[in-house]
Structure 1
Amino acid sequence: MDGKTDVLVLGAGIVGVSAAIHLQRRGRAVVLVDRRGAGEETSYGNAGLIERASVFPYAFPRELGTLIRYAQNTSTDAHYHFSALPTVMPWLGRYFMASSPEGVAKTVSGAWPLIQRSLDEHEDFMEAAQASHFLRKVGWIKAFRAEESLEKGMAELEKLKPYGLSIDTLDTAGIAEREPFLGEGLIGALHFRDPGAISDPGGLVKAYADYFTTLGGRFVQGDAQTLEEHPAGWQVETEAGPVQSRDVVVALGPWSNTIYEKLGYAMPLGIKRGYHQHFHPNGNAVLNRPVLDVDGGFLLAPMMRGIRLTTGAEFADRDAAPSPVQVERAIPKARKLFPLGDAVEDKPWMGARPCFPDMLPVIDKGDKHKGLWFDFGHQHHGLTLGPVTGRLLAEMITGEEPFTDPSPYRADRF
C-alpha cells in the first residue's frame, strides 16, 4: 500500500471509525489503524442504546446510604478491586467534586449539543452504510421497585421537561402492556421514547467501517504504540508497512493514555470496566426493548445474540483479570425480572469505558505538537456520541465552522 496519507486515525471503535468517515467525506485521505477488527473492543459491549435522552450524566452518588452500600462492595451496580484503590481513589475524588450540582450543570451544558444531534448523525451513517436494520426506534424503560427510587425517577422527569423529550410514565398496567413477560415487583417506570436501540453494536461499527472503505478509506492492522513523530508529521507501523501522515487522531478509548502520556500530556482518564452476557429467552418470552431494573442494578437488552444482561461499573486496573461478580449477582435477579434461559456464551464479556471526572470527552488538538488530535473519553456514551463527536473533530481538523462550541471538550480544561 502507499505509505503516505493525510490522516491516521488510531482506534477502530465507534469513535475512531466515525471520525475516519467524517474526514474521508471531507476529502481527506484517511488510514484507520487498529490491532483488531472494527468494533471488537469497548464498542462491542454495551446496552446498545443511542441515548438521545441522556441529558444528565452518570454522576457520582452523594446519598449517604448509597455510598455506604458501595463501600460494602456487595452491590450489582458497582464493584471495586481493593488492590486498585491507591490508583482509583484520587480519580474518584475528582469525579465526586465534578458531580456537585454546579459541576453537573456544567456537564449538561457541554453534553447537550452532542446528545441532541446523536441519533441524527447515526441515522445519516446508517442510511449511507445500509445498516438501518440494526436500529429499532423503541426507546428503553427505566423500571422501579422501591418507592424511594420511583420518587427520584419522577424528580428526574421534572428536570427533563425543558428538553422536549418524549417520556411516558407507566404504572404496573402500563409496564405489562409494553413488556408482557416482565415479572412482578415493579411499581412504576419511565419509558424514554427518543433513544434508539441497536441490536448488535459491534456489527453496527463493522458496517460503518465497511462504509468507510467504500469512500476510499483504508483500514489496516497495526500497533498504535509504534506512533512516532516523523519529518512529514507522524508515522505508525502496520502489517502493510509504515504509514506516514500529516495529522494523527488518537481515538483509542481506554488505551489513549498510552499515547498521550508518552507525548507529554497529562489528562485524568479513568476506567470503568463493565460486563455483559447473553441468554436465550425461555419459551416464547419476548423482550421488546431494553429495560433497566434500577433497584436491581442491571439492564436487559434484546440483541441478535439473545438477551444481553449488562452490569454497572467496576473500578479496577484496566488490564486486571476479569472478575465478573456483578454478573453473578445479577443473574438471579434478572431471572425474576424476565424468563432467561441458558447462557449463550461460556463466560461474560468484559470491556473498559474511558471516563473523565467531569463526564465529558476530550475533542481537541494537542497544543505541544503539530497535527496531533484527541478524540476519547466518552464514558458511558461512546456508541451514542461517536458519530457526532467525529463530525465535530473533522470540522476542527478541516477548518470548517464547528456546529457547536468545542471549548467544553478542551484537553487543557483539567
Structure 2
Amino acid sequence: MVFRTRRLAGASVAVAAATALVAGCATGSGGSTSGADGDTLTLWTHNAGNSTELDVVKKIIKDFNGSQSKYKVKLQAFPQSDYNNSVVAAASARKLPCLLDVDGPNVANWAWGGYLAPIDVSGSEVPLSDQLPSTVGRYKDKVYGFGFYDVSLAFFARKSVLNENDIRIPTMDKPWTKTEFDAALAKLKKSGKFTYPLEMGTGGTGEWWSYAYSPQLQSFGGDLVNRDGYKTASGTLDGKKSVEWATWFRSLVAKGYMSKKSGADPNKDFLAGKSAIQWDGSWNATKNADKLGDDLAIIPPVDFGRGPKIGGASWQWAMSSSCSNKDGAQAWLKFSRQTKYFVDYAKATGTLPGTEATAKQIDGYQPGGKFNELVQFARKYAEVRPVTPAYPYISTEFEKAAQDILSGADPENALGQAAKDIDNNLKTNNYNAG
C-alpha cells in the first residue's frame, strides 16, 4: 500500500503513538510553555515530501501573516514517517509547537496524553456543523481538531465485467448482501480470467488494516472494542460476530478469491485486469475514471448484516496544550476555516471535500457528479474508529491478529489473544482515566 498517495487517516500511527499511550497523562501538560516566541508561532506538519498539500499549508500561512500584523506563523515540515516520533519526543520534553496536525484516530490519544488543548473556532467562515462529521476531532465532548477533507472506501469494478458474469451492480439504495458478494466472487473465480477476483490490499501494513477491514468487521456486528466505556475488548473483538467476520475473511484466501499478500500496487493490478473488484479508496477514483471512463463502477460497501460501513477521519489541525500564545494559535485556526481553503485542499489532494459548499466547487464531486457517491458514502457509512486514547494500541493488535488469521491462525484464538492483550493494556493505563 502506498500511504503517501492514499491520504489514509492513521497511516503513520504505529509504535510512536502507542508510546504516547504508555507515557500517560503528564507527558504534554504542565511545567513549561512553548511553541511561540512572542507573537511568532511555530506550526508543524507531516507534509514534507508531499508538495501538493504542503503548498496549500504555505498559502494559508502566507495569507494569514499578510492579513494582520499581530501574529506570525512559522512553518516546520516533517516527513510523514518521522512525524509521530517527533511529536512524542517534543511532548515529553514539553517543546511542542503551538500548531500541529494530527491523524484523526490519534486525537483522543494526544488529548488524553496532554499534548492538545481544546479549540474554539466559533465565528469562523465555515461552521463546524457544516463539515463531514468525521473531519471534526472530539474527545470527552470537546473539540480538539478539525480537518479540511476526508477519504472514502469503495469497491471499484468494470461494469462490463459484472454484466458479462450476470452480477448485479449495487447501489446505495440496494448494496450487495454477503450472500450476493460471495456468489459474485465465486462466478468471477470460475471465469478463470483473473489472477484473483478480489483485491483488498492485503500487502499493506500499519493503519490500513484497521481502516480497511474493521468496517467489514463492524458490518458483521463486531467491533474492535466495547464502546460502552472503552474498558474491554473481550466479548467484542473476540465475540461471535467478530469471529464470523474473521472466518469469512480467511475464507477469501482459502477459496482463492483474494491473495494473502497483494502486490506493491494493487490499483495498478486492478487497472491491468488482474483483479475484477478492488476494495480501495477515493484517492484512486480519478485515476480509475481516466482509465476506464464510463465502464467504471463505483460500488458501496457490502452490507454484511449491520449495514454498510467504511472508516472515517483523516488529518486534522490542532493546538498544543503547552502553547504560550493560544490566542494567536486560535486566530490562525479560525482564519484557515475559509471555503476557498477547503477548495484548495480538495483540488490539490484529490480527497473528499470537507463540506457540501466545497463539493459544489469541485468537478465531479458536486451533486450529480461522477464522484459524488464517494462523498455520500462518507456521510452515510463512515464509522469513526474507537474514540479512545488506547486506539493506537488496539489498532496494532488488530493488525497482528488479522494478518495471523490470513496466514492460517484459528480466528477465535487470534482474536481472543488480541482482546486479552488490549484488556491488559487498558488495565495498565487505568482505563485511560485522567
> Shorter-chain TM-score: which interval?
under 0.3
Larger helix share, 1 or 2: 2
- TM-score, normalised via structure 1 length: 0.26
- TM-score, normalised via structure 2 length: 0.25
Larger strand share, 1 or 2: 1
